Amino acid sequence: MRPLGPRDVDAVCARVGARVAAAAQRCAMLEGTLEREALRRAVTSATPAWVARSRGRVVGHLATALVDGSRGRAWVPPDGASFDGPAVLAALVGAAAPSWRDAGADGVSAWVYDEPTEVRAWATYGAALTARRGVRALASPPAQGRPTGLRLRRVEAGDLEMALRLDRWGDPPGVAPPDEDERRAEVIDLLEDPEVDYLVAELDGRALAQVVVMPLPPRRGSRPGAVHLSAVAVDPDERGRGLGGAVVGAVLARARASGHAYAEVNWRTLDPRVERFWRARGFTPTHALVEGPLPD
């Protein structure tokens, strides 16, 4: 194990390229092409980053996208790790742990391909699957089934208190909700972002559901022309009426009409009903979020 150096860059880029191409062959919703110079710049500038070598060749690498000491997490992006077996990954995480800990992290979160072998490899040191990313094509109009009279409108800055109330509907069970000051700051940022559509679904003038929609910038691992859905939430007293499916169908139809080719969403796996909801709407899992403590 050693810090990633200039003589490792070509080998790491080759490993990442091979992983991306192989993953795209397994899952049609994954983007299988890479802009090589952008990848090289990303690998060269990654810090902190490590490589594992055996018998003169690179057998694994680990690069951190972000160490967020305020949240206690070190974040690893989808192409931030490669390894020839779980033992190599465990050694890389062990090598990285002291630097992560010094930066204020006590755990690691990694987006990996949604493949059982990858998830199991991260589980060898205690990381567990906590979320998935799913993608669906918008080549055909999505089913909407909108209840009669349901209307979507953009939430404006003057609707802040309503937006805060709606945002609380989306707090997942079994997970500590965010601090209210933190929640308020995040909602304000969304409302003030001109590229974000913060939408509320109303029936007879009453807010029943919300969804946040934003275009995805070009990024490794995502399809071009994709739109991201988040913060989908329905009034707890109105659940079971098909409102969530109706709102998502309407939003996907809007995205398709606006020229978007794909839609992405992240969902927590703690509630199997959430998993079933997104799969039933045509989203194919592409990535898994694994999270765990730092090894001693």
Q: What is the pLDDT of residues 65-83, one digit of tens each?
A: 888 877 788 999 888 999 9
Residue 151: is its pLDDT beyond 90? no
112 domain-assigned? yes
276 domain-assigned? no
State which of 136, 165, 180 marks the end of a domain.
Answer: 136
Identify whether residues 211 and 254 lie together within a single domain.
Answer: yes
Q: Could you give the number of structural domains in the chain?
A: 2
288 domain-assigned? no
89 domain-assigned? yes
State which of 108, 136, 164 marks the end of a domain.
Answer: 136
287 domain-assigned? no
Identify whether residues 222 and 164 lie together within a single domain.
Answer: yes
Identify whether residues 131 and 8 lie together within a single domain.
Answer: yes
Identify whether residues 131 and 144 lie together within a single domain.
Answer: no
Average pLDDT rounded to a whole number, residues 22-44? 86
Q: What confidence score (pLDDT) does residue 9 get?
A: 93
Instruction: Work out the pLDDT band at 216, boundaries 50, 70, 90.
Output: confident
Identify whether residues 126 and 155 lie together within a single domain.
Answer: no
Q: What confidence score (pLDDT) does residue 143 get?
A: 65
Domain span at residue 32? 2-136
Question: How far is CA 200 from its chain centroid?
Answer: 22
Looking at per-residue pLDDT, the higher value among 242 and 263 belongs to 263
Domain of 204, CATH number, reads: 3.40.630.30
State which of 116, 136, 156 marks the end of a domain.
Answer: 136
Identify whether residues 132 and 144 lie together within a single domain.
Answer: no
Identify whether residues 182 and 102 lie together within a single domain.
Answer: no
Average pLDDT rounded to a whole number, residues 58-64? 94
Identify whether residues 117 and 151 lie together within a single domain.
Answer: no
Identify whether residues 209 and 103 lie together within a single domain.
Answer: no
237 domain-assigned? yes
36 domain-assigned? yes
Q: What confidence score (pLDDT) does residue 122 get?
A: 93
285 domain-assigned? no
Q: What is the pTM of this model?
A: 0.88
Across the chain, what does the average pLDDT equal? 89
Residue 240: is its pLDDT beyond 90? no
Residue 142: is its pLDDT beyond 70? no
